[in-house]
Amino acid sequence: MVYGRQIDGTPVTFGTSGYTMQSVFVLYDRATESLWYPTSAASLEATSGPHRGRTIPFLDKPRPMPLGEWRGLHQRTRVLGPPP
């Protein structure tokens, strides 16, 4: 799932908290350390911290695309693989 990352127009930077709840990773925002959990298929909800009760909506479902199409959109992408 792809979620937004703004609260009141301010970008939020997420990290992994190291916690899981019901086998799902719990995220935290680096600025306030609020914990965020996907409470539904439509949003992330802050379950603790200063943003408790706030939600960030689902944006769009990512779609697979061929590498050539991706590189057309993101020319600086580097693909990691075994040495040649």
pLDDT in tens, 48-72: 999 999 999 888 777 889 999 999 9
What pLDDT was estimated at residue 58? 84
Asked if the structure places residue 84 within a domain, the reply is no
What pLDDT was estimated at residue 33? 94
How does the average pLDDT of the chain come out, rounded?
Answer: 88
Is the CB of residue 17 less than 8 Å from the CB of residue 32?
Answer: no
Quote the number of domains for the chain. Answer: 1
Is the CB of residue 27 less than 8 Å from the CB of residue 21?
Answer: no
Provide the domain limits for residue 38: 2-73
Asked if the structure places residue 79 within a domain, the reply is no
Extended beta strands in 1-84, E state: 2-3, 6-7, 10-11, 14-21, 24-29, 35-37, 43-48, 55-60
Q: Please calculate the CA angle 38-50-60 and round it to the nearest 5 degrees.
A: 30
pTM of the model: 0.67
What pLDDT was estimated at residue 82? 85
Asked if the structure places residue 29 within a domain, the reply is yes
Q: How far apart (Å, rounded) are the C-alpha atoms in residues 66 and 45?
A: 33
